[in-house]
Amino acid sequence: MSIVETKAVVSRFFEALRQGDVGRLADLIADDATWWVAPTYRFSGTYDKPQMVAILTHLFAASAGPYDARIVELTAEDDRVSATAVARLELKDGTLYQNDYHALFRVTNGRITACKEFFDSYRAGLAFGFPD
């Protein structure tokens, strides 16, 4: 895939996040994908596709409106796409979640095969909970 094509896959992923479209997100993630989430909050760890789709489903179920996740910068080399983003989400309990993200995606054959997601885990913990 070209760099333009790999960047387009990640752009489509963020578009599906904003639309809350779990089906489309699942379609963009390869069946054997791994997803690493920064430590110290409830959803920290390494996940496979079904686990990641379950987390996204939980996120959208807890939201009072759209997940406003916007790409700030997108850079690609080979199969890697680096995205910095800002996110804002109002939860049903009235909590306003806002965070800055860096995600390093790997894209193969038009699907995300891996992601490492970095963000302020303290802000995420305040909104979604800390580990037990």
**Residue 50, domain CATH:** 3.10.450.50
- Domain with 110, as residue range(s), is 3-126
Residue 20 lies in a domain: yes
Give the Cβ contact number of residue 92 at 10 Å.
10
Tens of pLDDT, residue by residue over 88-126, are 999 999 999 999 999 999 999 999 999 999 998 889 888
The pTM of the full predicted model, rounded to 2 decimals, is 0.93
* Torsions phi, psi for 78 (to 5 deg): 55, -125
Contact between residue 24 and residue 53 where contact means Cβ atoms under 8 Å apart:
no
Question: How many angstroms separate the CA atoms of 87 and 27, rounded?
Answer: 22
Residue 132 lies in a domain: no
Tens of pLDDT, residue by residue over 53-86, are 999 999 999 999 999 999 999 999 999 999 999 9
Residue 131 lies in a domain: no
By DSSP bridging, strand 111-119 and strand 29-37 are parallel
Question: How many angstroms separate the CA atoms of 27 and 14, rounded?
Answer: 13
Find tokens 């489903």 and name the residue.
Answer: 57
